[in-house]
Amino acid sequence: MKKILLVDDDKTLQAVLTRYLEKRGYSVSVVTSGVQGLKLFAQDPPDLVVSDIMMPGMDGLEFCRRLRVTRPGQLVPFIFLTAKKDLEDRIQGHYIGADDYITKPFEPLELLAKIEAQLERSRRIHSEMVRLMQKAPENNEGNEYGDGSSASTAPIKHPEPEEDLPLTPAEARVFWEVIQGLTNKQISQRLFISPRTVQTHLSNILTKLNLENRSQLVRFAFEHGYRPPQTQEEQRAAEARG
């Protein structure tokens, strides 16, 4: 179930939109200000953010700006849902880092379409990064055999990040899961740890490797030959080819 963070101080809109989205299979968390939005995002990152602009304390523009400078918040889809309709407001919203901008009053069906479009775009980007990382070259001139022959049937030795990279064993386990394209929730279920612990390990990994986000981590793994461990089926197939 995809998780949406709704940041808006309008109680009526909160209730209506939460009910509408939950009926369509989404999990919705609601806060009333940018300050609360940042706090909840850090505790339990959502798959997408929908935010008003005019709110007390910290407005939506500042919330988006601060979110975009954090590693977990750089790639999350972000949609402004606001009564500010001027062209300058819309331009500023996109300039700050929003992926889409909807003005009130709005049609819930349009918002739903934009949410689904942004989530699908995010999925495609992540899937493509994982595909590129997992793709192994099958014919390389000047390979380790020195004769241009294919090394695709040679046994694949996966480097151990905890030895070759400055990662703890716990961070290394999260590293392998992340580069396979899994979400924090999926990783937490596989490793039997909380999503917050997964995020802590991921933040440590990014800091140690001097990277900014998941996409850069996947690219790093691909460029340095860190491929996800083979499944049992893949191992049997490789042994059969050998």
Kindly state whether residue 59 falls inside one of the protein's structural domains.
Answer: yes
Q: Are residues 117 and 166 in the same domain?
A: no
Write the CA distances from 148 to 117, 134, 138, 141, 222, integer angstroms: 44, 22, 10, 4, 22
Tell me, what's the pLDDT at 167?
85
Q: pTM of the prediction? A: 0.58
Cα R_g (the chain), whole angstroms: 21
CA distance 137 to 10: 54
Give the contacts of 152 (CB within 8 A, at least 6 positions apart).
136, 138
Exposed (0-12), middle (13-18) or buried (19+): which is 23, by Cβ within 10 Å?
exposed
Give the CATH number of the domain where residue 44 resides: 3.40.50.2300
C-alpha dist (Å) from residue 35 to 114, 160, 199: 25, 40, 20
Asked, for residue 206, whether it belongs to a domain, the answer is yes
- 120 within some domain: yes
Of residues 124 and 66, the one with the higher pLDDT is 66
Residue 202 within any structural domain of the chain: yes
Q: Are residues 184 and 108 part of one domain? A: no
Domain count, the chain: 2
Residues 228, 139: Cα–Cα separation, whole Å: 20
* 169-193: pLDDT as tens digits: 888 888 988 888 888 888 888 888 8
Distance from C-alpha of 144 to C-alpha of 140, rounded to nearest angstrom: 9
Structural domain of residue 217, as residue ranges?
158-241
Q: Are residues 117 and 22 in the same domain?
A: yes
CATH number at residue 205: 1.10.10.10
Q: Are residues 32 and 118 in the same domain?
A: yes
pLDDT band at 228 (very low <50, low <70, confident <90, very high): low
pLDDT at 181: 80
Is 148 contained in some domain?
Answer: no
Look at residue 135 and tell me if it is in a domain.
no
Together in a domain, 100 and 170: no
Give mean pLDDT, residues 208-237. Answer: 70
- Tokens representing residue 86 in the block: 């001027």
Q: Which residues pair with 199 in a beta bridge?
A: none
List, in order, residues 6 or more apart from 103 with CB less than 8 Å away.
82, 83, 84, 85, 90
Single residue among 103, 124, 145 that ends a domain in this structure: 124
Torsion of CA 57, 103, 61, 117, to 10 degrees: 120
Residue 146's pLDDT is: 40
Same domain? 112 vs 166: no
**Torsion, CA 217, CA 71, CA 9, CA 118, rounded to 10:** -30
Q: Each residue of 81-132: pLDDT tens digit?
A: 999 989 999 999 988 889 999 999 999 999 999 999 999 888 887 777 666 6
* Same structural domain, 38 and 109: yes
